[in-house]
Structures are given as structure tokens and as C-alpha cells.
Amino acid sequence: MAGTRANSPADDGGLGADLHLDHVGLRGRHGLRDSLMAALREAVRTGRLQPGARLPPSRTLATDLGIARNTVAEAYAELVAEGWLTARQGSGTRVAPRAEPGRPPKAGSERVPLARPTPIRAPGTRYSLLPGNPDLSSFPRAHWLAAARRALTAAPHEALGYGDARGRVELRTALAGYLARARGVHATPDRIVVCAGFVHALRLIGAVLHGRGVRTVAVEAYGVPQYYDLLTDAGLRTPALPLDDHGTRTEELTDAGAVLLTPAHQYPTGGALSPDRRAGVVDWARATGGLVLEDDYDGEFRYDRQPVGALQGLDPERVVYFGTASKSLAPGLRLGWMVLPRSLTREVIAAKGHVDWAPGSFDQLTLAEFLTSGDYDRHVRAMRLRYRRRRDQLVAAVAERAPGIRVSGIAAGLHAVLDLPPGTERPVIAAAAKAGLALNGLGDFAHPSPGEPCRDGLVVGYATPSDSAWSGALAALCEVLPRFP
């Protein structure tokens, strides 16, 4: 791959420092910003850029690379948000002290909880704004069918057999490339395990952790109650970590053996984990031998800026990365995956062999074809535009009809939080049910620490309705919102 050498001012003594970036060969397939970010991540991973190393100013690097300064500035900003870099006034942009290089990968190599809270739809319900679902009416049926035909035509005979416990190699290979490109995940096919959705994956990890002697998995103060129940069923305690404006307070981790986080877009409150806390939780994992369980449930859908990359890229040996097709395509596909630390892979595969329920080979092959053909990217881009329009319509409607209500958590995802005055959450949900509108309150997701107050609010799944039902659902919501100055 071609490289570009950028000359940067030295920190001391005025000596020039060379920065060699292998990014030119990526320009044709990916944008310049993404290519530059990938090159910088790789330079840090391999140790060519050491912790504390100062990077060239954005203007200097842009001139040397022959690209726009804004492109460099945006790449730096995203990598700061992901925890790879730090930026402080007077100190410039540097490699984060914690961003240590990883080892290069080796070649080759009963009761089921619901995925999200989905209350039974009561008789008389006309509209649903429950979170956790994409717009199922927009599933790309024609493109999926075409991908299925191509995949079935090309499938080897052995695809009809029991196969590899990790999943089809075609899908694991396609996922490794996609996750590296789109989410900054450090993945190789031999470290990916395909599962029947996030619940299946978390069950496996819970069993493995318990088998290793772990007894405590810290969780976020707001999240999916079924996940906490699942971990409890595995014999694990789930103490809650409180949240503030910078995300989950990971600095309060103590004796837990692992922590379950949604760092890119906290579920359901909607904030991103701050760069300091992203780096801090990796520090904690390295110092204690703990594991970070990263649920990247809707990482493709960010609207106000480019996606915040996965935490896993900071230390692939201390983070278990979870992803699914549930939000990008449909939960009914039952397609999910884990990217595992090398030390955990064999144990998870062994556990999966004892609980052998997983997606069928042809569904896996179809998703692999959907990814490699570019259909997946095109679908995600189209849905991102559609969901952003809905988000904007929701914000505008609430501002007009109930201007005293703050809408938060809107930078990403498929839902928003409407903050309500204390004591009004349950009455609003009851009024909505009477009007035929299904809603969740923040209280449905609370798992607070002792003494931590619960917020009143609504978690509005604006992606859930079909296009034909959206305007009616939005109008019904506005009718039940409390009015106050």
C-alpha cells in the first residue's frame, strides 16, 4: 500500500519528525477522513506511534498529505472521542498514554429473555413508539432476496452440514472487514463468533465468566432489565454504576470482574461515554484483569457527527465486542456476533457447543453477501437519513406543542428521551395507553444504585412506526405530553 510521509514540528529543539501514514491506497474505497483515521489507529496499534507522541498540527499534516485541513481536524476529533488521542490547549494532539499497541493477530485461526423491553400490545393500541425496533416495513426485501439467491447459488455443499461453531467463515470474514472499516474494531475471522442475537451472546459470556470464577459484572444504572436477569441467572451479581453528563461513571468500578457498557450510545439515556472514561475503563481492565463487555447495538446510526468508534479498538484483548443486525436490518433475523479477546475464544466456542442454537448457514451466507456487495452500506445510509428526518420532526413537534420538555439523547440511535417533571411519568404513560399509544418510561429501564434518584421521562422509539403510521404516532404523543411553562 502506498504511504505518505508528513513532516511535523518537533516537540523540542526544532528538529523535524517524520510521520509515515499508509492511507493513500484506501482512498478509492473509503473517504479520506476514514482512511486517515484507519491509518492513525494502525500506527498506534503497531507501536509506530508511541503513547504520548505528539502529532503534527492539522494544518501541517493536511499540507503534507495534500488534503483539506478540515479532513485532518475531523479525523483528530473523532480519534480523541474514541480515546486514541488527547488534545489539550498548548500541548497539541498526542497519542493517548493508554493507547498501547496490541500484538499482531495470528493468521487463520430454558428461559430466554427478550432482546429489549417489549410489553404485550394491549387491545386497542393503534400506535407504538416502544424503543428497540427499526422500521420493519423498510426491510430491504428485494435486495435481501437477491443476496440470498446469489449466496445459495455459490454455497458449497458443506454449508449444509453442522459447520464451525464460530459460524460460517464467509460471514466472519465479511464482518471482520466491515467492523474494522465502519466501527474501528480490531477483528480477525478466527476471533469472531456468530450468535443468535445479543441475548445468546451474553448468555455464553455469562457462563464463561462464571466458569472462570467471576462473580460480579457491573452494569449501567439504566439499561435492559432482561440482561441483568440473564447475568443473575448465570450466578453473577450486577451492581449498578451511576450516570452523569459524561456517561457512565466508570471510575466507580471496584471489585467487579467485568462491566457491561453501551459506550457509543448509552441505552436508553443516549449519551456517549467521554474520552477520559473510555480510556479509564480500559486502564481498569488492564490493571485488574477485568473485561469490558461492549454492546454496540446501534453504532451505525449517528446523526450530528461521524460515528464514535468502538471502545474495543483501544484494547482488543480486554474488550468483548457485541454487535447485531437487529437495528440495522431486523431482530427477526437472529443474527449477532462477538469479537473476542484471544484468551477467551476457546472457552466461548466450547460453551457455544453445549448451547447449539444459532442462525442457519444460509442466513449467515446471505448476510455475508449483503455486506460484501455493498447492499448493507447502502441500506444503512438510507435508513440513517430516514431516521434523522424523524428525529428532527420529533424535536420540532415537542418544541411546538410542549416547549417546556427537553429532548435528549438525540445525537444517535433510534430513540430519544423526553425529560418529564417529577411524578408525571406514569400518568403520561397511562394517558398514552388510553389513547392507544404504547410508550416506555425511563423507569422501565432503571437499575439504580442505592440512594440514586430515578429520572422521570419517556423513551420514544421514533424508528418503530412505519412511514404510514409515523405522523399519527407523533400526533398522539404530543396530545399526552404535559404542558407547563
Residues sharing a CB contact under 8 Å with residue 123, sequence separation 6 or more, in sequence order: none
The pair phi, psi for residue 92, each rounded to 5°, is 75, -165
Task: State the chain's mean pLDDT as an integer.
Answer: 86
Residues sharing a CB contact under 8 Å with residue 354, sequence separation 6 or more, in sequence order: none
Site of grid cell 502506498 = 2
Residue 293 pairs in a beta bridge with 260, 320
Q: Look up the pTM and report it.
A: 0.82
Percent of the residues in the chain that have a pLDDT greater than 70, as a whole number: 85
pLDDT at 484: 65
pLDDT at 98: 66
pLDDT at 384: 95
Smallest CA-to-CA distance from 428 within 416, 417, 440 is with 440
Output the nine-digit C-alpha cell for 199: 441475548
pLDDT at 356: 61
Q: Helix, strand or coil for residue 86?
A: strand
pLDDT at 2: 40
* DSSP β-ladder status, 192-195 and 336-339: antiparallel
pLDDT at 429: 95
Low-confidence ranges of the chain (pLDDT < 50): 1-18, 23-29, 99-120
Question: What pLDDT digit, counting tens, does each position of 396-441 carry?
Answer: 999 999 999 999 999 999 999 999 999 999 999 999 999 999 999 9
With beta carbons less than 8 A apart as the criterion, state whether 430 and 477 touch. Answer: no
CB atoms within 10 A of CB 254: 9
pLDDT at 35: 83
pLDDT at 15: 25
pLDDT at 119: 44
pLDDT at 453: 74
pLDDT at 449: 67
